[in-house]
Structures are given as structure tokens and as C-alpha cells.
Amino acid sequence: MDKQRIILSTNLKVCLKEVIDSYPHDIIFILTDETTFQLCKPTIDSFDYLSNAFYITIGATDLNKSIESLTHVWYELSNKGGSRKSLLINLGGGMITDLGGFAASTFKRGIKFINIPTTLLSMIDASVGGKTGINFNGLKNEIGVFNAASCVILDSHFLQTLDYTNILSGYAEMLKHSLISSVDHWSDLLHFDLNDINYEYLQKLVALSVKIKEKIVTEDPYEHGIRKALNFGHTVGHAFESFALSQNKPILHGYAVAWGCICELYLSAIKVGFPHDKLYQTIQFIKEHYGTFTLSCKNYNHIYELMKHDKKNNSGIINFTLLGDIGDIRINQTATKEEIFEMLDFFREGL
């Protein structure tokens, strides 16, 4: 997989034109969901070089990260005359960059695509690193490919279109990045005022978060080794997401990751010695900002079965990334069913 080109933009109109001009193309397509069409399309409406672009719009939320939405995008690309020389711009959050990236990777055996993430979550996670895909059969990201966008443009202007819950959703992935990197970064995030956001400083934190992910992805693009560090909080988090979807009560990805981090920090503490003071400082921050995820002991087997479907597993053994300390990454860790149930007990009762 080629190294991804990532640009921190201060003038999207100029930046996007330079990027588009660097990739010869015939037709430009712009993929949005209903929310980003309404809130983010106005930002690029005045860009004259996009006047002939075709818009493709799908439903919002993770419920639409589906084979039906993917098929709709393929139909639109085909019916509007798309060719192998066409260019797809994904303007939206992680659902759009994941699904759009997969659509572009498979249409005509692959066309170039540019990601313009509009949520905090997609800026520091979904749009960077080359993972694309859709949900399938009730499971998160079950179908997809590794294929990096030709370019990712990060523009903090879009963050001001987000509501508080979507800021928090992205911030959870930033917190995860801090846990796998350094105490200083972790401390900065725990002390950042999310109730009175300094967007200029937030963009600096975003840039640092992207660098952490980019460094790991460059070292291990196809997740054979250290890239598994980025899965911290996700083995449980994805199971929580899939469980919520099965109840027709979808939850934001970042919230699931935050709750997954609580669970996997607990496993880290009992299995590889993660310090209890940092465990409880992190839990307190998550509790204050994210609340908790409601489940009962009757749900444990269902969640356990969902965890067994995680793509990191080998021969049915659930695979975790754990931490001996902040920045002390321990990949390819396992836990017994009993330990996992104890972990879920802690999550329900230890907050």
C-alpha cells in the first residue's frame, strides 16, 4: 500500500484544487450523506472547478454503512459515466470515507479517491490508514479492503459544524492514540476543556494524533504486527457496536471505543500490570464525558460471541492489544472466557 498523502489545510479551496489538478481525471464524483450534504456541501459550493461534479448522497448514520448503500454508489458511478479515470471525493465522516473508499477501490477494479473528513473521528481515524469497508451480517466492517486514499485533506473548519456528541466520538480515538503513545499526550487530552473548545489548539492535537497513527501504519500497513496497537479498545468496542446494532439502538463509534478502552485497560491491569492510578484517572474521564453502556449479565454470551468474530482473532481465540503502561504496547494478548466475563462485570459495576 502506498504511503498516504496527508495535508493540513488552511485554505480548502486552494488546497483541493491543487490536489485535484495533480490527478488526471475525466469526471469528478462527490459522495456525501444526507447530513454532510446539508452542513458541509455549502463550504464547497462556491468552488468553480467543482461546478460539473456529480453528487452521490446516501443516508446518514452507521445503519447506512451497508451493502445497499454501496450498491447505490456503484450504480451512480456507472450510470453517470464513471470510468477508470474518474475521481471520487468522499466528503463526510468515517462512514462515508470507509464506504466511499471501498466503492472506489472496487469500481472498474479501482479509481482514485480523495478523503475530506468532516468529523473529528474521521480526521484522526477512519480517513487515515487505508482501511475501507462496510458492515455486513450484523458485524462491524466485515467486508472491505486495504487501500489508501490518494490524499486526505484535514480542515478544522468542519469541526465547528459538529455537535458535542460527535466531538466526543472523535476525541475517544485521540485518547486511544495517547494511551498507546506517551504520558504527556495522555495528560494533555485529560486536561483539555471539552466544554469550551479551543479549535486552534484542537487542530494541533489532531495533527499529533494523525502523526501517531501515520507512523504506525507506515511501519505496518497491513496489520501483521505493531499496527494492532491501533486496535486498543476496539475488540470490546466493536462488540458493543454490533450488539447495539442488533438491538436497533446504534451507538457512535467513539463512544464504543471509550467504553472498550475501560474494559481493555482492566484486562491490561490484571494481566500485564497497567498502573491502577492511570486506569482510574482514565476511567473517571470517560465516565464524566461518555456515561456508560447499559448491558446486563444476560448479554455476556452474546457480546462474547460477537468478540469471537473480530478480524484480529486466530483460530477462534480472541486477540487483544493490551498495555503494560502508557506507550507500553503488548499485542497478541488473550483472555479466557471467565476473564472476559469478569471484565464485563467490572465495566458494569466498577464505574
Domain boundaries in the chain?
A: 5-161, 164-349
Residue in 105, 86, 104 with CA at minimum distance from that of residue 20 = 86
Q: In this predicted model, what pLDDT tens digit does every residue of 91-111 receive, in sequence order? A: 999 999 999 999 999 999 999
Indicate if 164-349 has the same CATH topology as 5-161: no
5-161 placed in CATH 3.40.50.300: no
Catalytic residue (one of 147, 176, 185, 223): 223
Q: Is 79 a catalytic residue?
A: no
Please confirm, yes or no, whether 253 is among the known catalytic residues: yes
pTM of the model: 0.85
Q: Dihedral (C-alpha) 85, 86, 87, 88: value to the nearest 10 degrees? A: -140
Task: Find the catalytic residue in 65, 176, 228, 253.
Answer: 253
Round to the nearest angstrom and report the end-to-end CA distance of the chain: 42
Determine contact, residues 241/256, Cβ cutoff 8 Å.
yes
Q: Which CATH architecture has domain 164-349?
A: Up-down Bundle (1.20)
d(CA 75, CA 195): 43
**In this predicted structure, what is the pLDDT of residue 139?**
87
Q: Is the pLDDT of residue 128 over 90?
A: no
Round to whole Å and give the CA distance between 176 and 342.
22
Residue 295 CA to its chain's centroid (Å): 23
Our answer to whether residue 157 is catalytic in this structure is no
- pLDDT digit string (tens) for 42-84? 999 999 999 999 999 999 998 999 999 999 999 999 999 999 9
